[in-house]
Amino acid sequence: MEGLGSAASVIAVVDLAGKVATVLFQYLTAVKHAKAEIERLREELDRLSATLQSAQQLLEGPNGDQLKTANSQALRRGLDGSYAELVSLESKLRKKLDSGSSRVMSKFGIRSLKWPLESKDVDRSIAALERQRDTLSAALTIDQVEQVLDINQTLLLSKLPIVWDALFDSQANEHESRCHPDTRAELLRDIYDWVYDANGKSVFYLQGMAGTGKSTISRTVAQHLVERADRPLVATFFFKRGEEDRVDASRVITTLTSQLISREPVLAASVKRAIDANHAITNRPMGEQFEQLILRPLEGLKPGKSRTVVIIIDALDECRSEDDIRQLIYQIFRGANMKSDTIRWRAFLTGRPEPPVRLGIGAIRRDIEQRKLELVPEADIHHDLTAFFKTRFAKIRADFNTLCHADSQLPQSWPGHEATQQLVNMAIPLFIFAATVCRFIEDRAWSDPRAQLEKILQHATAFSEMDNLEATYLQILSQLAVPSEAAQQTLEDEFRKVVGTIAVLAEPLSANSLSRVLGLPKSSIDGRLMSLHSVLSVPDSPDVPIKMLHLSFRDFLVDPAKRDTNPFWGYLAKKSQPRELSHACLQKFEYTSSSPNIFFTGWKR
């Protein structure tokens, strides 16, 4: 490739990689016993092509000349090395493919083509291509690109209001569940096929009632896509009621933009120009933000290999503003009309069938793929829940047996097929029921999984689906019962103060902050929450916020419709509770205001 510039060299290598891929496909269809090796080579070619595509985007960008100067030697080594390896590989493959004997025998319909490479040759080729890909990647690292393009990406992102906890892979969501490998298989396969279907609709809406696993599916889809070799541009926003930043749609577009920039740094230049042209863009209406920060930057990407953009918005119904829900759905749909032949726009949305969501989705019905979790066949749900329970019980059993004496250990047969099927039948179709039951059984505060399981099974009567979940919550709370009337009054007061405050706060607080606001010793906070770890996320650190594990528990505590069936409803229903909480906050404010450093003495949540 002597004499070729960097951009032309990239095109030459991409073209050659395509030819090798074509030859490999011929072998794949004609050779029986080397399919695994052929697939390994094809996957490495895909990874190399993705790296080359990034190089081409940068080299053909407005600042490409600077990049060529700064990284010319490393870039040239990677391109020349890749080209040489591909030439060698193509030669070996075509030699057998073009042999005369192969042509003669195929003329008579005899399957004669043989795979020309030994396993060690495949390993060597893959290792060589990987080395060249690493060289190219090193020449195109984000830090170098930022230096060359004179764009401080960190500074740019600092200008974008970002809700970090709303990202699927944020620290706040680190321990949130993904789908068990043996569950939701058909649905997930349909979603992945939809993402890459050239003729597919631009929006996929997954509808389901509370507790059916929508958010788990969303996290699983996001995780799968970001780990693919072809690196689709994935951006996520997970709404969550009870967390102030995650019920407000004002920062959805900027949060999505930040993720797109992180996955495709070339977009930073266009976003920076939009911000420089209008410093108030992040406070402008949602439609204008979408136009300037997402739509136009994506349209401005140089033509080349097709890119797939996947926007994932989870729990639309938990957005606070009904108008914002409809507006967000409309703006996301606008991406389908992008003026680009190389961008495949996909938006994956989930939500309960609440009126604003239904209205927003209804407005784009002509270009939407829609699935309802309540229509999934019961046999499929039964299979998935059985797999979930078996896996969780195996972990509960192993953890318990590790900590207890040999004579108290759970047998390998525990809990048994009959008990598992009882729980499956109680859970259908609510995965949140299954997750809550497992947390309750493994709660070390009660130390005996056998007894905890038995308490749950006692409720295996002919309840409706939601009644089963409520019965489980009641069983968890019933463990707070105390023998005397005086002690019961203390329990009611503490439950209302501690659990009631957690239930009604717009933003979650830590144990230390609750102790200060409520005027209760931290030991009282810890004691009241000790048996509630199956419904509350109680961190080890007293400075990390305590959160509801699922919105259904909050509804169970405060829904007026539950007043006749939930004896704990009255604890939180007293009209004095908001007044008491407000009074406690004002008292704390008056106390801290006496300090000259009031604005510098904030608490950790």
Three-state SS string over 119-170 comes to: HHHHHHHHHHHHHHHHHHHHHCCHHHHHHHHCCCHHHHHHCCCCCHHHCCCC
Do 298 and 358 belong together in one domain?
A: yes
Do 127 and 206 belong together in one domain?
A: no
Q: Is residue 558 exposed (0-12), middle (13-18) or buried (19+ Cβ within 10 Å)?
A: middle
pLDDT at res. 101 = 47
pLDDT at res. 6 = 64
Q: Which residues contact 149 (CB under 8 A, 6 or more apart)?
A: 61, 63, 66, 67, 268, 269
- Assign residue 536 a region (left: φ > 0; alpha: ψ between -120 and 50; beta: otherwise): beta
Q: Which residues contact 439 (CB under 8 A, 6 or more apart)?
A: 533, 534, 535, 549
Q: Which amino acid is present at 333? A: F
DSSP 8-state code for residue 413: T
Query: Taking CA 368 as the corner, what is the angle to CA 367 and CA 370, rounded to the nearest 5 degrees?
Result: 160
Question: Which residue from 272, 329, 321, 331 is spatially nearest to 300, judged by alpha carbons?
Answer: 272
Pick the last residue of a domain from 375, 391, 407.
375
Cα torsion at 61, 66, 70, 76 (round to 10°)?
A: 50
Do 405 and 299 belong together in one domain?
A: no
Do 280 and 406 belong together in one domain?
A: no
Scan for tokens 């999505």, then name that residue.
256
Query: Per the domain annotation, does 605 fall within a domain?
Result: no
Given a contact cutoff of 8 angstroms between Cβ atoms, the answer to whether 242 and 551 are in contact is yes
Scan for tokens 């992180």, then name that residue.
262
pLDDT at res. 413 = 95
Greatest alpha-carbon pair distance for the chain in Å reads: 98
Query: Per the domain annotation, does 295 fall within a domain?
Result: yes
Do 214 and 323 belong together in one domain?
A: yes
Query: Per the domain annotation, does 105 fall within a domain?
Result: no
Do 381 and 341 belong together in one domain?
A: no
Do 16 and 149 belong together in one domain?
A: yes
The side-by-side arrangement of strands in the sheet containing 368-372 is 233-238, 307-314, 343-351, 203-207, 368-372
pLDDT at res. 593 = 47
Range of the domain at 177: 165-375
pLDDT at res. 552 = 77
Do 150 and 260 belong together in one domain?
A: no
Strand residues in 461-600 grouped as ranges (E)? 536-537, 547-548
pLDDT by 10-residue block (mean), the chain, 605 residues: 64 88 86 86 89 77 57 76 89 75 47 79 90 81 50 68 95 89 95 93 92 94 93 95 90 96 88 92 96 94 83 96 96 87 93 91 86 92 96 95 90 95 90 89 81 81 55 72 68 80 84 88 86 82 86 77 67 55 60 46 43
Question: Which residue from 392, 333, 91 is spatially nearest to 204, judged by alpha carbons?
Answer: 333
Do 395 and 366 belong together in one domain?
A: no
Interatomic CA distance for residues 391 and 212, integer angstroms: 18
Do 226 and 354 belong together in one domain?
A: yes
Query: Per the domain annotation, does 104 fall within a domain?
Result: no
Give the global pTM. 0.65
Do 383 and 368 belong together in one domain?
A: no
Query: Per the domain annotation, does 546 fall within a domain?
Result: yes
Q: What CATH number did the domain enclosing 277 receive?
A: 3.40.50.300
Interatomic CA distance for residues 66 and 267, integer angstroms: 17
Q: Catalogue the long-range contacts made by 97-100 (C-beta closer than 8 Å, 24 or more residues apart).
A: 97/23, 97/26, 97/27
pLDDT at res. 244 = 86
Do 394 and 290 belong together in one domain?
A: no
Query: Per the domain annotation, does 291 fall within a domain?
Result: yes
Q: Which residues contact 41 (CB under 8 A, 6 or more apart)?
A: 24, 89, 122, 125, 126
Query: Per the domain annotation, does 244 fall within a domain?
Result: yes
Pick the last residue of a domain from 158, 187, 211.
158
Domain count, the chain: 4
Q: Which amino acid is present at 488? A: Q
Q: Which residues contact 461 (CB under 8 A, 6 or more apart)?
A: none
Question: Which residue from 155, 142, 146, 147 is spatially nearest to 276, judged by alpha carbons?
Answer: 155
Pick the last residue of a domain from 428, 463, 479.
479
Rg (CA), the chain: 29
Query: Per the domain annotation, does 601 fall within a domain?
Result: no
Q: Is residue 451 exposed (0-12), middle (13-18) or buried (19+ Cβ within 10 Å)?
A: exposed
